[in-house]
């Protein structure tokens, strides 16, 4: 009788554990939903991050923003629970020297134009990582735009040297701006 009760208790614990784990697993690939997220007139696509080594303090995030509207906008900030801070950066080669700089005023998104955040140019720099970025995971990022407001996107983690999102990967809109910034 007692061993049967222990078995039932173990089964309940196992079910609870699996259910709790399911809350933290973020689906990837086509199950994630649309490949494009809208924030006002801005179309966000191709969101990905690169896998990081264990104990790496920083990581990079990349995406494409197409301004389908008639007014300029600006990506003013990004945040993520996966990092202590997310900075907007530029990167350029000066001869054989790579120069990276924070962009405290954000990244301009001109009307009718497309801006790409790439591993060798504009990008999001995640600092003070809370955990390594593992290939196949999704990293939530809240983007804040001057006019379009805020939107949460998932960056699919690709390989450590990836230059593009993983094949078949997409992102999912979590919650569009509750209230656009005025």
- Give residue 81's pLDDT: 98
The answer as to whether 48 is a domain residue is yes
Q: How far apart are CA 99 and CA 48, in angstroms?
A: 22
Q: For residue 83, what are the contacts with CB-CB under 8 A and spacing of at least 6? A: 59, 126, 127, 128, 129, 130
Q: Answer whether residue 134 is part of any domain.
A: yes
| 21 vs 130: CA distance, rounded Å | 18
CATH number at residue 124: 2.60.40.1890
Helix (H) or strand (E) holding 180: none
* pLDDT average per 10 residues of sequence, the chain (182 residues): 52 41 38 70 96 96 97 98 97 89 96 96 97 96 98 95 76 40 44
Cβ–Cβ < 8 Å for 128, 85 = yes
Q: Is residue 174 part of a domain?
A: no
pLDDT value for 93: 85
Give a yes or no: residue 64 inside a domain. yes
Q: Is residue 173 part of a domain?
A: no
Q: What is the pLDDT of residue 128?
A: 97
Is there a domain that residue 140 lies in? Answer: yes
Q: How far apart, in Å, are the Cα atoms of 127 and each of 61, 86, 107, 134, 170?
A: 11, 6, 18, 16, 24
- Assess if residue 17 is contained within a domain: no
Burial class (CB in 10 A: 0-12, 13-18, 19+), 119: middle
Q: Residue 80 belongs to what domain range?
A: 29-158
User: Domain for residue 111, yes or no?
Assistant: yes
Structural domain count, the chain: 1
């Amino acid at each position: 009788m007692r061993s049967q009760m222990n078995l039932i208790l173990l089964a309940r614990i196992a079910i609870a554990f699996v259910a709790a784990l399911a809350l933290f697993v973020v689906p990837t690939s086509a199950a994630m939903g649309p490949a494009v997220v809208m924030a006002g007139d801005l179309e966000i696509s191709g969101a990905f991050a690169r896998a990081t080594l264990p104990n790496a303090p920083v990581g990079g995030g990349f995406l494409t923003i197409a301004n389908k509207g008639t007014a300029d906008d600006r990506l003013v900030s990004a945040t993520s629970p996966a990092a202590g801070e997310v900075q907007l950066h530029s990167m350029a080669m000066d001869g054989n020297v790579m120069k990276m700089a924070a962009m405290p005023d954000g990244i301009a998104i001109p009307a009718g134009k497309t801006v790409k955040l790439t591993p060798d140019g504009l990008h999001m720099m995640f600092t003070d990582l809370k955990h390594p970025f593992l290939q196949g995971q999704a990293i939530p990022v809240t983007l804040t735009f001057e006019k379009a407001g805020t939107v949460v996107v998932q960056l699919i983690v690709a390989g450590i040297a990836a230059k593009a999102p993983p094949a078949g990967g997409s992102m999912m809109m979590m919650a569009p701006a509750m209230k656009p910034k005025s």
